A = this chain, B = another copy of it.
Amino acid sequence: MTNLKNDRFLRALMREPVDATPVWMMRQAGRYLPEYRATRARAGSFMQLCSNPDLACEVTLQPLERFPLDAAILFSDILTIPDAMGLGLYFSEGEGPRFERPVRDEAAVRALGNPDPEGELRYVMDAVRTIRRELDGRVPLIGFSGSPWTLATYMIEGGSTKTFSRCKAMLYDRPDLMHELLGKIADSVIAYLNAQVVAGAQALMVFDTWGGVLAPRDYEQFSLAYMERIVHGLVREHEDRRVPVILFSKGGGQWAECIARSGCDGIGLDWTVDIGEIRERTQDSVALQGNLDPAILYASPERIREEVARVLESYGYGSGHVFNLGHGITPDVDPDHAGAMIEAVHELSRAYHQ
């Protein structure tokens, strides 16, 4: 880990000693920052921001200028892969992301290609290279992807959904077709994440935003199994360094033991579980990332500090904890409150690392 000035994040993921608990925030480059909103306005649309490596780099670095964060995360979207597969991603006012050509039958599944990370997705790799260069070893860069199940929900429904009616109908009525689709997506995710590592990503995270809407057995078969396939397909060493991978299923804390057995290095936890209890249940076999309720950032800096203290105390002594929110920071949060959280983590965590 020679040229890294701050390797707390990577060390914590490998459960090696650290001086303080590392901290970063999901969506740390996001709308709660006025400087982000300014760049976003300049870019035009959200996808223009994602697909311009210089602008993506600019917003990735913005939170690091403000706060002493211990990691940067590539600014991108989880829907880049389905878009590159030819589904036609667009954003409609008030409805969020939509696909022009959703995947709803055998023919559509069979027609899906495996996008070339240095072809259709080159703009993402260019962003990784640019960010890595501009970071200049300050902190590690996290690359990421959506999980196969989560991507499949958008690909089948054609956008966001509350009922998951189409993707669950496929899961229950045509499990064979669902498995074929998930297998294709998993292969694309493996190629995509490995290319991010070659381009400069030093850790990886798989976002399984919708794993928690599945029944336990379905979660294992249709979400976790494909994340496990990804973990085993990833290049885990690059330039003589371990590339740790974090799996995050929102609402999946109850399945932490199963997730820990996937071969991942860390598990992301939302705020609905007690991180100390999960540590006990997973017996220190993996690192844990989380798990402050993002809504605590609406409270006063004093209360934020108290709640940070509580999460740190729950995790307890020793390395293996990456402090984070349990979900992305929300757009209407005061940036100073995020700062208060980060400061509290660094200050209060030292006692647990002596």
Contact = CB atoms under 8 A, between A and B. Distances in A.
A300 interface: yes
Interface residues of A, number: 33
Contacts of A298: 165-166, 168-169, 172-173
A173 B293 CA distance: 14
Given A169-B299, A213-B272, A251-B251, 12 more contacts: A165-B298, A165-B330, A168-B293, A168-B298, A168-B299, A169-B295, A169-B298, A172-B296, A172-B307, A173-B299, A215-B293, A254-B273
Nearest to A271: B215
A212 B272 contact: yes
B165 A273 contact: no
Nearest to A167: B295
Interface string A282-305: 000000000001011011100100
Interface in A236-254: 251, 253-254
A164 interface: yes
A216 interface: yes
B273 A168 contact: no
Contacts of A296: 168, 172
8 contacts: A165-B330, A169-B295, A169-B299, A172-B295, A172-B300, A213-B272, A216-B273, A254-B254
Interface centre among A166, A219, A271, A298 (most CB of B within 10 A): A298
A216 B215 CA distance: 21
A303 B272 contact: no
Contacts of A19: none
A332 interface: yes
Interface string A261-295: 00000000001111000000000000000000101
Q: Please name the 6 residue pairs, one residue from A and one from B, whose CB atoms are nearest each other, closest first.
A: A168-B295, A172-B299, A169-B298, A173-B299, A215-B271, A163-B330
A214 interface: yes
Contacts of A163: 295, 330, 332
Nearest to A293: B215
Nearest to A294: B163
A213 B271 CA distance: 8
Given A168-B293, A172-B299, A272 B330 contact: no
Contacts of A165: 295, 298, 330, 332
Contacts of A218: 293
A169 B273 CA distance: 20
Contacts of A330: 163, 165
Interface in A172-230: 172-173, 212-219
B272 A215 contact: yes
A191 B172 CA distance: 43
Contacts of A213: 272
Nearest to A306: B172
Contacts of A295: 163-165, 168-169, 172
